[in-house]
């Protein structure tokens, strides 16, 4: 099959394309003919070799975790799925495999894509939707009526986080650049801050900060918290609370528990999916480069041609 793959770590330039063998499926696995893949900053970091301690990979490595497609074959132990089913899911980062024409994955890790949802929409969801919910509600403990500050609200995770926090009844304050402020408002932000021209650190009495930026942004986020408030950081590992305020790193392990909820919200018209751009599989490197800029608005996707 055709796949984008790396033989060495580096910038997105190292992503090549060519023929890669499809792994033989085990009894509990399915082979999915991929229709679309979502591109995440995680893929950029793995390709760069930054995450070898956490998510070790072997060469040749096919990047990509988020995918959607059609089941081609099922293992002999799989009874609830069959060839022809439309599914989506997320593979483990060390396994990757989504920037390709086929993926072999445990049947338990895929979920049905409804007719009304396109393959592109489905591939946009696993990491972004799941991370947003895990960070806001499991790590952050966000409650109705609380004030949440969401950084990078126009990014892949951010557009999901704004919507999830809003529908949970939180007061949502969102940072984005000028061009994306209206989008973020339309997704449910009550207050928007242009991070390039306004200083968010003047805010006070925030219950939760969702930090997708780290560094100076994280540092300037502590004073905005009320005593007892907390920061959930997607990018800084091992953070700890200080001065009566909590801090915790988010480690998104599996999208599987969130897929049904994503479908449910989408089908009831309560979930918007924002697409930055769509690249053919042959241009996976350009897709990775786009994400590596750190300035995608919503999701960068790969449309796989079979
Ligand atoms: N820990 C975990 O388990 C986990 C899970 C998922 C994601 N993550 C990490 O979380 C981060 C965000 O992921 P993502 O998919 O949302 O990334 P993304 O889609 O690449 O985010 C891009 C967005 O960030 C905005 N942005 C850049 N600098 C900003 C700043 N200083 N303040 C506010 N917004 C800023 C950009 O806005 P402009 O274009 O307008 O500048 C753009 O809209 C990544 O580092 C990712 O690896 C971690």
Are 170 and 149 spatial neighbours (Cβ–Cβ below 8 Å)? Answer: no
Q: What is the mean pLDDT of residues 107-113?
A: 98
Q: Exposed/middle/buried for 191, CB within 10 Å: 0-12, 13-18, 19+? A: middle
Strand pairing of 299-303 and 275-280?
parallel
Tell the residue nearest (CA) to atom 15 of ligand 1.
156
What percentage of the chain reaches a pLDDT higher than 90? 99
Q: What is the mean pLDDT of residues 21-25?
A: 92
Q: Which of 45, 189, 214, 294 to mutate to test the pocket of ligand 1 (most atoms within 8 A of CB)?
A: 294
**CA nearest neighbour of 150 among 141, 298, 160:** 160
Do 277 and 240 fall within a single domain? Answer: no
- Domain residues for the domain of 70 are 2-124+273-303
* CB-ligand 1 contact for 173 (6 Å cutoff): no
Are 123 and 36 spatial neighbours (Cβ–Cβ below 8 Å)? Answer: yes
Q: What CATH number did the domain enclosing 175 receive? A: 3.40.50.720
Q: Which of 47, 127, 135, 152 to mutate to test the pocket of ligand 1 (most atoms within 8 A of CB)?
A: 152
Residue 260 lies in a domain: no
The yes-or-no verdict on residue 180 having pLDDT over 80 is yes
Residue 259 lies in a domain: no
Distance 16 CA to ligand 1 centre (A): 25
Q: What is the pLDDT of residue 7?
A: 97
Do 288 and 220 fall within a single domain? Answer: no
Tell the residue nearest (CA) to atom 37 of ligand 1.
295
Distance 254 CA to ligand 1 centre (A): 19
Q: Which of 198, 234, 274 to mutate to test the pocket of ligand 1 (most atoms within 8 A of CB)?
A: 234
The yes-or-no verdict on residue 264 having pLDDT over 90 is yes
The Cβ of residue 20 has, within 10 Å, a number of other Cβ atoms equal to 18
* CB-ligand 1 contact for 195 (6 Å cutoff): yes
Tokens at 265, concatenated: 């919200």
Q: What is the mean pLDDT of residues 256-270?
A: 98
Do 156 and 92 fall within a single domain? Answer: no
Question: Ligand 1 atom closest to Cα of 179?
Answer: 40
Cα 49 from Cα 229, distance rounded (Å): 34
Residue with tokens 């499926």: 25
* CB-ligand 1 contact for 275 (6 Å cutoff): no
Residue 299 lies in a domain: yes
pLDDT digits (tens, 9 = 90+) for 39-77: 999 999 999 999 999 999 999 999 999 999 999 999 999
Q: What is the mean pLDDT of residues 120-136?
A: 98
Q: What is the pLDDT of residue 179?
A: 98
Residue 266 lies in a domain: no
Cα 217 from Cα 195, distance rounded (Å): 10
Distance 151 CA to ligand 1 centre (A): 8
Q: What is the pLDDT of residue 305?
A: 72
Per-state percent for the chain, helix, strand, coil, to nearest 5: 30, 30, 40
Are 285 and 12 spatial neighbours (Cβ–Cβ below 8 Å)? Answer: yes
Cα 51 from Cα 57, distance rounded (Å): 9
**CA nearest neighbour of 139 among 243, 54, 220, 249:** 249
Do 6 and 98 fall within a single domain? Answer: yes
Distance 75 CA to ligand 1 centre (A): 37
Do 158 and 244 fall within a single domain? Answer: yes
Mean of the per-residue pLDDT values of the chain: 97
Which residue spans within the chain are E strands per DSSP?
2-5, 16-19, 29-39, 66-74, 86-90, 102-106, 110-112, 147-150, 171-176, 191-194, 206-211, 225-233, 246-249, 275-280, 299-303
Residue 113 lies in a domain: yes
For the chain, the domain total comes to 2
Cα 126 from Cα 119, distance rounded (Å): 12
Give the DSSP letter string of 183-227.
Answer: HHHHTT-SEEEETTTS-GGG---EEEEEESS-HHHHHTTGGGEEE
Q: What CATH number did the domain enclosing 87 receive? A: 3.90.180.10
The yes-or-no verdict on residue 306 having pLDDT over 60 is no
Residue 264 lies in a domain: no
Tokens at 117, concatenated: 């949802």
């Amino acid at each position: 099959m055709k796949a984008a793959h790396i033989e060495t770590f580096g910038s997105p330039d190292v992503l090549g394309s060519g023929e890669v063998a499809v792994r033989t499926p085990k009894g509990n696995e399915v082979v999915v003919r991929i229709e679309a893949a979502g591109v995440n900053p995680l893929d950029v970091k793995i390709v760069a070799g930054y995450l070898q301690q956490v998510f070790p990979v072997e060469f040749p490595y096919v990047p990509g975790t988020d995918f959607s497609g059609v089941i081609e074959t099922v293992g002999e132990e799989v009874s609830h799925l069959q060839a022809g089913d439309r599914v989506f899911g997320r593979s483990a980062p060390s396994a990757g495999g989504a920037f390709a024409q086929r993926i072999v994955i445990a049947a338990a890790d895929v979920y049905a894509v409804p007719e009304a949802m396109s393959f592109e929409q489905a591939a946009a969801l696993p990491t972004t939707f799941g991370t947003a919910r895990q960070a806001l509600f499991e790590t952050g403990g966000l409650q109705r009526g609380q004030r949440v500050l969401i950084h990078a609200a126009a990014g892949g995770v951010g557009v999901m986080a704004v919507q999830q926090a809003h529908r949970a009844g939180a007061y949502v304050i969102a940072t984005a650049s000028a061009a994306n402020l209206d989008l973020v408002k339309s997704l449910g932000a009550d207050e928007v801050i242009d991070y390039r021209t306004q200083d968010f650190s003047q805010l006070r009495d925030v219950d939760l900060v969702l930090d997708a930026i780290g560094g100076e942004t994280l540092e300037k986020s502590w004073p905005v918290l009320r005593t007892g408030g907390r920061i959930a950081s997607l990018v800084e590992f091992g953070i700890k609370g200080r001065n009566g305020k909590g801090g915790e790193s988010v480690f998104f392990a599996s999208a599987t528990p969130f897929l049904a909820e994503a479908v449910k919200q989408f089908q009831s018209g309560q979930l918007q999916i924002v697409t930055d751009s769509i690249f053919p599989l042959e241009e996976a490197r350009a897709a990775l480069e786009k994400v590596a800029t750190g300035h995608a608005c919503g999701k960068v996707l790969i449309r796989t041609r079979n």
